[in-house]
Amino acid sequence: MTPRKRTAFVLSVLCLLAALPWVANDYYTGLIVKIMIYGLFAMSLQLLVGGAGLVSLGHAAFFGAGAYATALLSPESASANFFWLIPCVLLASTAYAAVTGALSLRTRGIYFIMITLAFAQMAYYVFHDTQFGGGSDGIYLYFRPEWRVGDWTLLNIDDPHTFYLFVLATVASIWAFLSVLSRSRFGAALTGIRINEQRMRAAGYSTFAYKFVAYLLAAALAGIAGMLFAAKDGFVNPELLNWEQSGLVLLMVILGGSGNLWGALLGAFGLIALEELFQSEAIFGGMANHWHLTFGLTIIALVAVMPKGLAGFMNKLGHRAQPGPASRSSLPHTPQP
């Protein structure tokens, strides 16, 4: 696909998504909002997995930190102001990432996976076993934040359609940012670290510094996703920090295709759509009560059939659809004199 066609395709998808709230009911609109938020969450992890080759099982800690910061810092009787709330959310998620990353990034492979999991579970039990943040019952967010300057409200996202468009604009902006970042020298350095870190170190690159910056950036984006999730549901509980949440978003990255930014969005869409499908009693009847079984078997089959994920499968279909150059054998034979 040429850059012009790719741009036209992206703009068409954005226009279709922007028009969705006016043609779909509230259930499907809310479902797309959920997919977009988890797509942003998956893109943040994609920066680590597909960018630097860092497989983390503790990424939900940053997602939960952003959600809890939103709920705890929002007043009960009024809306919080995005102008100071967003910096606080970024500070909460990146501060925890700075502490955990300084230690976990000194390990590799399975040790990195386990230490990130351990740090995330520590954060989970802090919120679950103490009254900080409401304990195991969680905490409510009564008013969605708004953009406000003094007494002048620039943007109120309390309306479902406005909130939908706000989430869409946020996800599209961050996707564009990560797309540019992946093509920059920083993105190229991360790719080199993922392929061969020892060679990058021998070439004079400070690989720890690059991974640390990527870790902080991924945590910040996960915190933004957590903020949007808290604003969507109006409720935050410790399960947002649990290892199952980290495993879920990692599965989205794998299903969509590691190393592909589109794959994170496709993985979020595919996974949540499958969950909704297998829980539908109208389609599966009594089997909907055992949806985890059919869901798990389907995921195994999809990963086996599409080892490069949904994004790789779609790219393969696109290449097959394009006519290739004529082979030498198809050219008419010219007799030699």
Cβ-contact 250, 89 below 8 angstroms: no
- Using a 10 angstrom Cβ sphere, with 0-12 exposed, 13-18 middle and 19 or more buried, the burial of residue 191 is middle
Per-domain residue ranges of the chain:
12-310
What pLDDT score was predicted for residue 251?
92
CA distance 240 to 276: 19
Q: Which two tokens mark 191? A: 């790719």
Reported as type and span, the H/E element at residue 13 is: helix 3-19
54: nearest Cα among 181, 214, 198 = 214
**pLDDT tens for the chain, residues 1 to 337:** 566 766 777 788 888 888 888 888 888 899 999 999 999 999 999 999 988 899 999 999 999 999 999 999 999 888 999 999 999 999 999 999 999 999 999 998 899 999 999 999 999 999 998 888 888 889 999 999 999 998 888 888 988 899 999 999 999 999 999 999 999 999 999 999 999 999 999 999 999 999 999 999 999 999 999 999 999 989 999 999 998 899 999 999 999 887 778 889 999 999 999 988 888 887 877 778 888 888 888 888 988 888 788 877 777 766 665 655 544 444 444 444 4
Cβ-contact 59, 48 below 8 angstroms: yes
Place of tokens 């009560």: 289
CB atoms within 10 A of CB 2: 7
DSSP one-letter string for 169-232: HHHHHHHHHHHHHHTSHHHHHHHHHHH-HHHHHHTT--HHHHHHHHHHHHHHHHHHHHHHHHHH
What pLDDT score was predicted for residue 179?
92
CB atoms within 10 A of CB 187: 18
CA distance 61 to 223: 9
What pLDDT score was predicted for residue 226?
95
What pLDDT score was predicted for residue 324?
53
Q: Which two tokens mark 264? A: 């994170």
CA distance 72 to 68: 6
Q: Model pTM?
A: 0.89
Q: What sign results for the dihedral spanned by CA atoms 108, 111, 116, 122?
A: negative
CA distance 202 to 306: 35
Question: Which residues 6+ apart lie within 8 Å of 316 measured at CB?
Answer: 308
Reported as type and span, the H/E element at residue 139 is: strand 139-140
Query: From 1.10.3470, 2.60.120, 2.60.40, 1.25.10, which CATH number describes the 12-310 domain?
Result: 1.10.3470
What pLDDT score was predicted for residue 259?
75
Side chain identity, residue 10: V
CA 53, 55, 56: angle at the middle one, nearest 5?
Answer: 140
Angstrom distances, CA of residue 77 to CA of 98, 132, 143, 150: 33, 20, 8, 17
